[in-house]
Structure 1
C-alpha cells in the first residue's frame, strides 16, 4: 500500500455512512493536516457511499474548513443527498475530539460524484498548460532548509519541482505576481488518480508567499472540479491569484496531466498570513 492510500484508509463503523480514519502526522504542515489531504479523505468516504450507486468519482466538491485538522483519530460522516442518473450528490463532515473529549467538526463538504469513465470525452479548452523548465532545472521542495522541512512533513510525501521564476520568495525575493507553478508527483511513485487530484490542488505553497506574505494561510472555502482521470506521469500545477482584499486572497489552480489535458481546476478563499510579532 502506498503512503497516500494508507492515509486514506477507512474503517467502517456501526453507523451507516460513517467511517473511522487515523490522520497521520506525515501529512502535516505547521502542525495541521494539509487541507487537500483532508479533502481526499472525505472524497474517499463519499466514494464509498455514492459508489454503490454507480458514481465513485469526485466531480465537483466544495469544503468549508471550520477547525484545523490534527493528527489522530477522526470520523467522516457521509449522507446521500440526491441520487441521479449521471451524478449523485452527497454531504460529509469530518469530526475529531478535542482535549476534553468533545466532538469538533473540522470540515463540512457538499459534493457531486459521477463515473468519470462514462462522461463525454469531447472538450473545448481555451487555456494552455503552464510553460515549465525541464525537471532538472527546477527547484526541489525537498531541498528546503532543514528548519522548513521540520515543520512540513508533507514535503517528504511529494516530489515537487518548482519553476525557479516563481520560487524566489524562498530567498526573500518574491516576484509580487502571485503565481507559483511546478511539476508534481508522489515521492513513492504512486500514479495520480481522481481522488489524488483533490490533494494535488492544494499541494503547492500558497501564492501569498509570492506576494511576500510568508506564513500559514488558512483556507476558508475550497472548491475542486475534477475534469478527468489523469494519464500516468508528472502533473503540472499552476497556482495564481488575481484578487487580494479584506485580509484574504482568492487562489486559483490548474492541474495538467502528461497528455496536456486539464484534469482539475480549483478555487479557494484563504486568509493572508498575519504579520509576525
Structure 2
C-alpha cells in the first residue's frame, strides 16, 4: 500500500506543470475522493509558491477523476509577501477534471487565537464510537482512512436515520501520516454524505467545495463535525469543522452537492 505522502506527490514537469499518479486506494468504486484530489492540487500550489500552506481552496469538480496518471497546471494570479494566489487545474485524459483557486500563505504553528467561538460538543471517546473496518483484502478508501463515528449520527446504518443533516467522527490516516495541510484537505471531505440521515442513499457528487486551513494541526486524531442547512430541489449543502488533538479549530469547509440518486 502506497502511503498518503507518496499517493499525493507531484513532480514538476515544466514551468507551472506537474505530473502525478492518482491512487485508486482513495476512491470508492471508480470515483476518487474530492478531498484526496484537493490534497494533490494543494501540493502543486505550494510547490509553485513561496509560501508553505494552502490557506484557502475553492474547487469546482467537473467530472470524475480516476486512478492513474494526471497532470496539474498552476497559473499564478498574484504573488505577495503575505499570500499568493493561483488557478490550479487537474487534467486527465486531456480534459480538466477539477479547477481550483488556491491561496497560499505561511502559518505560524505557535500562533494563538486572538478570539475563538465556542467549540462544538465533544465527540464520545474513541472506544465508544463506531469503527468502519476495511474488508479483508480491500484496497479502497476505508483501507486508507480510519474513522470512528459518533453513534448518535449513524442510525441510518440500521434503517433509523436521525432526520437531521449531521455526521461526526474521529479521523486519522491508517499509514501513520500525521496531520498537516494535505491531511486536512482529505479530512474536510471524508465524512459520508450528511443526507444519509434523511434516508437518502448512494453517491452524492460534490459540485463545489471551499475549505480554509485555520492553523497548523497538532499530531494525533482529528475531530470532524459535519452538518447542513438546507436540502432543496436536488441540492444540499454540507459544512465541516475539523478540530485537532490540542482542541484548536484547524480547518473549515462548505460544499454544495447533489442529493444521492436512489
Where on the TM-score scale, by shorter chain, does this alignment land: which range?
over 0.9
Return the offset for 1:194: 1.4
What residue number does 1:134 align with? Answer: 125
Structure 1 residue runs without a partner (length 5+): 98-102
Q: Contact conserved, 2:164 with 2:197, CA < 8 A, in 1?
A: yes
Aligned residues: 262
Question: Is it true that 1:12 corresponds to 2:9 in the alignment?
Answer: no
Q: 1:119 Cα shift?
A: 9.0
Give 1:238 shift.
Answer: 0.6
Task: Quote the Cα distance in structure 2 between the aligned partners of 1:255 and 1:241.
Answer: 15
Which residue of 2 is the match for residue 233 of structure 1?
220
Asked if the contact 1:49–1:79 (Cα under 8 Å) also holds between the matched residues in 2, the reply is no
CA positional deviation for 1:41? 0.2
Distance of aligned partners of 1:39 and 1:66 in 2 relative to their CA distance in 1, 3 Å threshold:
same
Distance apart, 1:126 and its partner CA = 1.4
**What is the CA-CA distance between 1:215 and the residue it aligns to?**
0.5
* Structure 2 spans left out of the alignment, 5+ residues: none
Q: How far off is 1:141 after superposition?
A: 1.5
Contact 1:30 1:216 in 2 (8 A): no
Does 2:71 match 1:75?
yes
Q: Which residue of 2 aligns with 1:123?
A: 114
Q: Does 1:268 align with 2:255?
A: yes
Q: Deviations over 1:88-130 (max 9, x none)?
A: 1111000001xxxxx1110000011100128953332213133
Partner Cα separation in structure 1 for residue 163 and residue 9 of structure 2: 40
Deviates more, 1:263-272 or 1:117-126: 117-126
Is this contact kept in 1: 2:74–2:87, CA < 8 A?
yes
SS of equivalent to 2:48: helix
- Where 2:220 maps in the other structure, the secondary structure is coil
Displacement of 1:244: 1.1
Residues 129, 236 of structure 1: 8 Å contact kept: no
- Counterpart Cα distance in 1 of 2:202 and 2:106: 38
Contact 2:89–2:99 (8 Å) recurs in 1: yes
Match in the other structure for 1:100: none
TM-score where L is the length of structure 1: 0.90
> CA contact under 8 A between 1:130 and 1:238: conserved in structure 2?
no
The 1-side partners of 2:177 and 2:142 are apart by 15
Q: Which residue of 1 aligns with 2:98?
A: 107
Counterpart-to-counterpart distance in 1, 2:121 and 2:188: 15
Normalization by structure 2: what TM-score? Answer: 0.95
- Could you tell me how far 1:236 is from its partner in structure 2? 0.3
Q: After TM superposition, give the deviation of residue 8 of structure 1 in Å.
A: 1.0
